[in-house]
Amino acid sequence: MKVFFVIVFITGVFIVVFGSPVAKEKPVRDHYYGSPEPILPMSFAHLDHLTENCILCHHNYADDTGGALCMNCHVTDPQVWPLLERQYHDLCRGCHEEKAAQGVDGGPPRECMACHLGDDLP
């Protein structure tokens, strides 16, 4: 039994290092959107969010911090980009979770691959 669990542990380490051998899609870390360090790709479809208030995400339209797109600051500004993962998870996933709690289909609340595949959508 000990040998079995040692093999399982080593297998787990291999999967963490080299990725799942059975997952259909695997994200590739890279310098997306000009990020200083490799990050996961992200997908976002404006068309799926037309019913939301723009300022919910585009805070810079209201707080006078410029007119740039999200990625312009959030992956390139040296002070902001280290917070990228937490801020985007809080905003995107937090909103999806709220919708899920209301019983509304409001986007994926947890599945990583639902958001971490890159796309060319505006």
Partner 1 sequence: MRVLLASFAAVFLLTFIANPTRGAGWFWDAGNALGFAAFAGLLHLTMTSNGRLDVRAHQSLGYGVLFVALAHVFWFMLGDGAIIEFLKVGAPDYMWHGIVSCILLGYIITVALVPDRFKVHRDYASFRYWHRVLAVITIGTATYHIVVSNFYLGIWYQGVLFAGLAGAVAFGRSFRAKLGQLPVVGIGMYMAVSLVFAAAFTVARNLPA
Interface contacts to partner 1, rule CB under 8 A:
1-2, 5, 8-9, 12, 15-16, 19-27, 29, 40, 97, 100-101, 103, 108-113, 116
Tokens of 10: 């080593």
In the complex with partner 1, which residue's Cβ is closer, 21 or 67?
21
In the complex with partner 1, which residue's Cβ is closer, 15 or 69?
15
* CB distance 117 to 41 below 8 Å: yes
The structure tokens 């890159």 sit at 118
Q: Report the nearest approach of partner 1 to the CB of residue 116 (Å).
A: 4
Q: Report the nearest approach of partner 1 to the CB of residue 19 (Å).
A: 6
* CB distance 25 to 117 below 8 Å: yes
In the complex with partner 1, which residue's Cβ is closer, 29 or 31?
29
* CB distance 81 to 35 below 8 Å: yes
Beta bridge partners of 30: 39
